[in-house]
Amino acid sequence: MTTPAVSWPPLSPGERSVAIEVLVHGPLSRTALARRLDLSPGSLTRLTKPLIESGLLVEVPEAGAPAEVRQGRPSQPLDVVAESRAFLGFKITSDRAYAVVTTLRSEVVARLDRPLTTHEPAEVADGLGEMTAWLAARFPALAGIGIGVGGHVRDRAVVADSPFLGWRDVPLAALVRERTGLPVVVENDVAALVEAETWFGAGRGLDRFAVLTIGAGIGYGLVLGGRRVPFAEQDRGFGHHWIIDPHGPLTPEGERGSAVSLLTIPSIRYQIRAATGGDATYEEILARAAEGEPMAARVIGEAARALGTLVAQIANFAMPQRILLAGEGVGLMDVAGAVVERTVRDRRHPLADPVALVTKVSDFHDWARGAAVLAIQVLVLGSAEG
């Protein structure tokens, strides 16, 4: 089943700047909008007119925007029509596909997940197509699809390498587009999460912002000047070579003492299994550590010190205004947050400002929301890098 895409005409660079400013920071009065973009009133009128005519922006006189007065009369704020379009975001893990439907302002209005019974690309695409059809029947104004995948993505279309799925050079965007009739953008899942948090989350309005994710792997993203900084190692598992303690544990998934070896959920479980001969979930290991069980407490303590070291290194070198810690592994902070904070202080100059560390408990639907934001940026606003 295919679904006709609902979209706007392509935006010029100036129109795109106006649309993004209102989308992320609106509602905004024309006075405030012109000041933020350094535009004359005439230029702003020229740029906003087609956006209003197309239905992307709307005047909202009662929208609680700053009460600014222009030439003796109230300035009518502009806002986006958030519910006018819907966007579908997918996060693919090794065993499930997670989906969300969002508004234009990335508010989640529906969630869905289904198991993956195979990693065969065509069959995975079939499953995404079926999920899309089910959701499109309930949200007919779908404008596009974003897909987040752990691994290296090329041209926002091809999964060049995904260790979790065993994929190489899989044209995922084309496969899903064939089954849905909707435009599709594919991106590394951490990059998508960073974009979502920059536009609509913890990094909104910040000039310098960093994201660190812990879970099945280690993810890192940096925002400078309000824009995500792309870098080659971002989706190539660089945590395997981010050495925290050269004498630390060696696991099958990382170099000795690397961030991956010390901090990821599979490595923590591996260390416990190697030491005790028994398997345990990450949540069970955290609970044992909280109760003072020696082996679990040692492994979790090492993980907490590794996390504190990473946070301090990011703060020392990138100097972000805020660091967001996210992912399935953030439960570590509940058990050993004091160790993390002490390690951060020990790795920083005594007179350095405290690190603004924000912790966000994330599930895979949050990652899917990040992919939906990519769809908003690329497919609707034509913004290649957010």
**Which pLDDT tens digit goes with each residue over 180-210?**
999 999 999 999 999 999 999 999 989 999 9
Intervals of the chain under pLDDT 70: 1-9, 61-75, 232-240, 253-254, 383-386
Cβ atoms < 10 Å from Cβ of 84? 15
Alpha helices in the chain (DSSP H): 13-25, 30-37, 41-53, 121-136, 172-180, 189-200, 259-263, 265-276, 282-291, 294-318, 332-346, 364-375
The DSSP output letter for 58 is E
The pTM score is: 0.85
Per-residue pLDDT, 5: 52
Please, where in the chain does CATH 3.30.420.40 lie? 84-195+366-380, 204-362
Per-residue pLDDT, 385: 46
The CATH code of the domain at 204-362 is: 3.30.420.40
Distance from the first to the final alpha carbon of the chain: 30
Per-residue pLDDT, 72: 39
Q: Quick one: fold of 13-80? A: Arc Repressor Mutant, subunit A (1.10.10)
Cβ atoms < 10 Å from Cβ of 42? 9
Please, where in the chain does CATH 1.10.10.10 lie? 13-80
The DSSP output letter for 379 is I
SS3 243: strand
Chain centroid to CA 334:
22
CATH class of 84-195+366-380: alpha beta
For 262-280, give one letter per residue: b (16+ CB within 10 A) or e.
Answer: bbbbbbbbbbbeeeeeeeb
Per-residue pLDDT, 24: 87
Cβ atoms < 10 Å from Cβ of 11? 21
